[in-house]
Structure 1
Amino acid sequence: MSGTWVGIRRIRVVIGGAGVVLALFGLFRLVTQVPGRSLLGLAAWLVGALVLHAVLSPAVVAIGTGLRKVPPRARAHLQGALVTGGLVTVIALPLIYRAGSQPGVKAILGQDYGHNLVLLLALISAVAVLSYLRRVVRGCRAAGAAPTTNDGPSPTA
């Protein structure tokens, strides 16, 4: 049994070493290939990402705390919808913000990103609700009871 742990430790060291070598190679290429002005832009972007992370992290923790009150059966579906919707929104917001900044001839995609975001979030919500209802119906069929979406205690109890 101890031989396996030694093997796993070696694999971790090799993977960690490869990561360090690749990071150093990337840093070398960054310093030697990218102009200084672009490096300043990259540094500003990284600082902005750090500030955004500091703002979003407490919001994510607060949402996670609020989700403890959601019944367990529904929680997984709600979490999946929130994560997916959040990722889609993070991708779409820069496109919405920059809409119209390029002439129509230069723009690759001249779409209404705000409208498309709303449609995509509605689709994500619908899929989450339908998958939750499917799980409720399957669970009730397996138990031989009538389908209900109430995961909490009975109101008469």
Structure 2
Amino acid sequence: MKLLRLVLLAGGLALVAFGVSGWVEAPVAELWGRLAFAAAVLVAHDFVVVPLVLLTGTLVARFVAAPARAPVRVALVVAAAVSAVALPFVIGAGRIADNPSAFPQHYGRNLLLILAVIAATAGAWTAAGWLRRQRRRR
């Protein structure tokens, strides 16, 4: 386990170094825009994302049965991440009217399919846990 943590730490530090090198090599004119973007992301994370995650976790703890809490929480986090990435494609941000090949897929339908797979996986995880508990009781 210690080796895995060291490997993950080294990979993370390599990614941070790559990101910092991109900032260092960028033209000075772009620096203020990048700093403003970084500040906006930090504010959005701390004042929007974290409170929503905490509120959702509290609601799950209150209204979801104990055996299903972990699968539901994981499914909600994964679904939120997938939805955040897919949202620009679903709403067609950047779509050009005279270029139909720019967004060739049915992104809304595909997002719903992916969310259904996430929900089914959480359901299977919950069912597997329930079956395991039933076998222990026998």
TM-score, L = length of structure 2: 0.71
Residue identity in the other structure for 2:106: D
Counterpart CA distance in 2 for 1:134 and 1:26 is: 41
**Which of 1 and 2 has greater Rg?**
1
Pairwise CA distance, 1:80 = 1.2
> Segments of 4+ in structure 1 off by > 3 A?
25-29, 97-100
- 1:40 matched to 2:32? The reply is yes
Point out the structure with the larger helix share. 2
- 1:90 matched to 2:52? The reply is no
Counterpart CA distance in 2 for 1:118 and 1:71 is: 25
Which 5+ residue runs of structure 1 have no aligned equivalent?
1-14, 145-157
Could you list the per-position Cα deviations for residues 95-137 of structure 1 after superposition, in whole angstroms to 9, with x for gaps in the alignment?
32444624235x3x52122221111111100111122112212
Number of aligned pairs?
123
Aligned pairs for 1:3-152 (under 5 A) are 27=20, 30-31=23-24, 33-53=25-45, 54-69=47-62, 70-99=64-93, 101-102=95-96, 103-105=99-101, 107=102, 110-144=104-138
Change (3 A) 1:41 1:115: farther
Which 5+ residue runs of structure 2 have no aligned equivalent?
1-8
> How big is the alpha-carbon RMSD for the aligned residues of Structure 1 and Structure 2?
2.8
Identity, % of aligned pairs?
A: 36
TM-score, L = length of structure 1: 0.64
